[in-house]
Structure 1
């Protein structure tokens, strides 16, 4: 199914036709020339931990997409594994600097895949840095969708040059922004990937980061500019939620199985009317003056243990990433005309501003539920999301799945190609350990996806063994 890049003329200087899987062939990739870009470095990286020795190729897809390709020197399984990136990206290979598999090339490399990722088209000082996008529609286009295809194109050119053969299967894995990229890949490149893993997909950035996150910031800001709900209130609220909702599913296990079934009485907790009002707005999600919902749902019950990182801070200067994302997105990425450094989420107008994000909606979003072209091409997709995700609301993923099922002719028809796993107690992409210890390390969607692609066995679980 994977799109083979036969239309491009690739000239390799100094690489013998028979050379493959050797240090010499790796070094020779430095002299390769291809349309629309160039290799910047190629070196052998020794085997370490579970990773085999590999040829690390760094390349640039013009004008500014930095790409890393990892080619196993031995034991290549003939397949390709591409990883997304998180936040506003901008740091090449950031995920592989840690131990998690999320947005990392490591899971594929460990199993013999040739792997690749990119910085999505810019260099950032951090994953919340969006200054690169200021009045720069070309960079926004690369971040939104172009880096996905260019990473795939260049990686496959390197694979064919190094091994003398094209890959026979392609998988994409990403979470958060990487999940958005996964959704975009299915829509814009339906024949590029045989299998896709889409985790906690931030598939509607203008709706999520522009509208919803601005709503959260405004709801939690008092007239004097102070913060209404902080880490101490989060603890009180979380205790009340767990006490009243843990057993609703019939099991008292420290997690909320489905926050949609959770009804909490917050009276008697010592919260002020101002704090209760802020909490109600967080649970409800953004609305305009007519009461129309502007983004599905709000902050789910059961996510309170993670609020310090995303919403309230920890009282020691850590966390509060939602305000940071909302601020930088609004300043430089959201609007048809960038307002610049003086803009804050307090400036967001819920009556007029959603309509001012039409260009970014077209460039960034992957929330179209019509994935019929991907399904018709034989693609298989695993989507997972934590019910305790306080930043990328799980209700949007559920809504997307329900709409996709309707378009497919029913959930049973959709299940032939798409499997959704909603994970109780799981933080955003499993970054922080949940009350029962669940995090990304407890998940393994790659093994069931491989079984689905290679043996036709539909997945029933993504729990790691």
Structure 2
């Protein structure tokens, strides 16, 4: 796919990789680039460092308030474009690149000579769990939901055209968690924009996941007096028992659970016989665990979201669910609280709302309006497949915040719509990774994390040679 912008005469030239080195003056001149519904705020040369080449860093704004960063290699541009998503509720421009990893970062593209870009998704937030920006702000909600994806691409392509005197020949999108949601939204709302898409641990259904499921998890772990029921100690106790029963089910005792659906757990031996102690589970603790495994249901037993917290995810519960002894973690209640207050409903209830107020009989239906703005869980990829797009989806089986069961459910539905799994595999490759935390943030018991993965190399080979990926493990 090629993207040309008639408002820029230079971009009408043929797309040819820049072999000569661009100059600092050429970079600085991008400050004067004229953009429709946007403007450039800065342009400067950043020197080569570590694995990254020297690049022209451009900051720009797409109206009303999408902050965008574009990084253009000063030499050796490969003629292609790479766009990265953002995590959580976003709002912090370039957060992923500041962390040094590859997930939701421009780094994987820039290292390989791509022109790259990312955005804050249309607002400034104090943290990735801060949703206050969305209060009575439908424009910001729309930008976070879908518009920032297309606007980042549009602005980046205009700057590429001005800097290299040519448009990009190919475009790739990469994101995890909310970035994974953005990846799915890109495939559905902008099916011809990206030739290749990498979607990791996709939080593709925010109204189902962050509103309904996370409210279920939070309510289940809150006692009548407001105290927390399951804590980090119970997480360790449960995790040890789960691993002892499930590790060998896949035929290999390696500290990994290949598929938690294949293991039947019996924790009756952990039940407290008399008083509650750190070495046993009380009735309330066992009841909370049962609800976590089950996932949200209405009173008549209707499943409101696919599956619950997977076995094998217990080592990561401190960050997402229980917190640790130092008071860190518990991001699930934090996300659920701000999403419910400011983003989930057509009329925002505001800062007084708490997860305890979510009604599983009536509130899921109230989420439909905002689902249209945010969600990317449609299994219909017909337009993306017709455009020849290729998509790698990866998810950890030990993900305690974005359930892997939803991704499997989506994939099975997409295969049915495509006619068969074999037909879907022509365009979509799914990799479920045992023992992997959400986006590989925390290292697993065996050390596996995002550093063990490399979906970029197989995607490039797929696009260039038509070879369907068989692995995303780094070599």
What is the TM-score when the length of structure 2 is the normalising length?
A: 0.95
1:82 aligns with 2:92: no
Q: How far off its partner does 1:34 sit? A: 1.2
1:462 aligns with 2:472: yes
Runs (4 or more) in structure 1 with deviation over 6 Å come to none
Residue in structure 2 matched with residue 409 of structure 1 by the alignment = 419
Q: Decide whether the 8 Å contact of 2:21 with 2:76 is kept in 1.
A: no
1:331 aligns with 2:341: yes
**Structure 2: tracts of 5 or more residues without a match:** 12-17, 271-279
Q: Decide whether the 8 Å contact of 2:73 with 2:114 is kept in 1.
A: yes
Q: How far off its partner does 1:371 sit? A: 0.5
Residue in structure 1 matched with residue 70 of structure 2 by the alignment = 69
Residue in structure 2 matched with residue 246 of structure 1 by the alignment = 247
Residue in structure 1 matched with residue 408 of structure 2 by the alignment = 398
Q: Decide whether the 8 Å contact of 1:182 with 1:197 is kept in 2.
A: yes
Whole-Å Cα distance in 2 between the matches of residues 92 and 455 of structure 1?
Answer: 34
Cα pair distance change 1:218/1:174, threshold 3 Å: same
Whole-Å Cα distance in 2 between the matches of residues 23 and 42 of structure 1?
Answer: 10
Aligned residues: 459
- Of 278, 291, 294, which aligns to 2:301? 291
Q: Decide whether the 8 Å contact of 1:20 with 1:162 is kept in 2.
A: no
Deviations 1:10-55 (A, max 9, x none): 799xxxxx99821101000111111100000000000000100000
Residue in structure 1 matched with residue 15 of structure 2 by the alignment = none
1:103 aligns with 2:104: yes
Deviations 1:144-163 (A, max 9, x none): 00000000000000000000
Residue in structure 1 matched with residue 434 of structure 2 by the alignment = 424
Residue in structure 2 matched with residue 15 of structure 1 by the alignment = none
Residue in structure 2 matched with residue 55 of structure 1 by the alignment = 56
Q: How far off its partner does 1:7 sit? A: 4.7
Cα pair distance change 1:30/1:11, threshold 3 Å: farther
Q: Decide whether the 8 Å contact of 1:389 with 1:427 is kept in 2.
A: yes
1:159-178 equivalences under 5 Å are 159-178=160-179
Residue in structure 1 matched with residue 238 of structure 2 by the alignment = 237
1:370-385 equivalences under 5 Å are 370-385=380-395
Whole-Å Cα distance in 2 between the matches of residues 307 and 10 of structure 1?
Answer: 54
Q: How far off its partner does 1:359 sit? A: 2.0
Q: Decide whether the 8 Å contact of 2:70 with 2:118 is kept in 1.
A: yes
- Of 437, 446, 449, which aligns to 2:447? 437
Q: Decide whether the 8 Å contact of 2:8 with 2:162 is kept in 1.
A: no
1:338-353 equivalences under 5 Å are 338-353=348-363
**Structure 1: tracts of 5 or more residues without a match:** 13-17
Residue in structure 1 matched with residue 14 of structure 2 by the alignment = none
SS of residue paired to 1:399? helix
Q: How far off its partner does 1:5 sit? A: 3.7
Residue in structure 2 matched with residue 39 of structure 1 by the alignment = 40
Q: Decide whether the 8 Å contact of 1:301 with 1:388 is kept in 2.
A: yes
Residue in structure 2 matched with residue 6 of structure 1 by the alignment = 5
Q: Decide whether the 8 Å contact of 2:21 with 2:75 is kept in 1.
A: no
SS of residue paired to 2:186? helix
Whole-Å Cα distance in 2 between the matches of residues 432 and 38 of structure 1?
Answer: 38
Whole-Å Cα distance in 1 between the matches of residues 6 and 300 of structure 2?
Answer: 53
Residue in structure 2 matched with residue 147 of structure 1 by the alignment = 148
Residue in structure 2 matched with residue 22 of structure 1 by the alignment = 23
SS of residue paired to 1:90? coil
